[in-house]
Structure 1
Amino acid sequence: MKLIESLDLSMNQLNGEIPPSFSNLNFLNHFNVSYNNLTGQIPTSTQLQSFENFCYMGNHLCGPPLTKNCSTEGIPTNAANNGNSSEGSNVNWLYVSIVLGFVMGFWGVVAPLLFI
């Protein structure tokens, strides 16, 4: 993963902080995490600070290269969801679609065999 040259994760509804391991990506030419729900400080490395501000906009991030400094209190935890969703309302649609696909596929094969 250290040899990745381009990483565009914009508009993916990502939550949480940028992983500190991203500071180990030394060959990045393009990096964009804009318009997600990311919070906290941008990991310190010469690589991540070299990208433009627009690569981080639409998030609740702080620290260089942004003009917003990180305070000692940090970012409130409710800033990540902007108050739009309540706890426990997140549905992992990947697992829902896998289960529905299996059920539909199973009965698509078994149902005709039952009626022959």
Structure 2
Amino acid sequence: MAARYWQHPNASHRALRWGVVALVVAGVGAYLVYKAGLGTGAAMGAAVALIASACVVGEKLWPLLVWWRKRGAPVPAPTPADVGTAKDILAGLVAQQRFEETALRSLGDPAPMPVPWSSTERR
């Protein structure tokens, strides 16, 4: 699930948005702690760290919660266009893997393979 989440086209925008939310919430929390006069800068720093870490944890848990809510939803059947797209993607991946393996194993190299031999002097 995490891999699919980060492969989403808007993943960078989503991460940036959550980072901005974490900074804003931490800043508001620090301001409220300062205004309430709850103590020293160390207490304010601890409050900011707690709020920022809560935002980061929330950013990681959000996809899990969305998945959990939708887990009972029926999955629609693939259309012929989906099947054709999947075939094209698979064919491209197999061709790429074949090309890489050919280069890795030097199968396209026209030089003869060295084979050591010696004469046994027998007929």
Q: Could you tell me the TM-score, scaled by structure 1's length?
A: 0.28
If each structure's strand is expressed as a fraction of its own residues, which one has the higher value?
Answer: 1
Q: Could you tell me the TM-score, scaled by structure 2's length?
A: 0.27
If each structure's helix is expressed as a fraction of its own residues, which one has the higher value?
Answer: 2
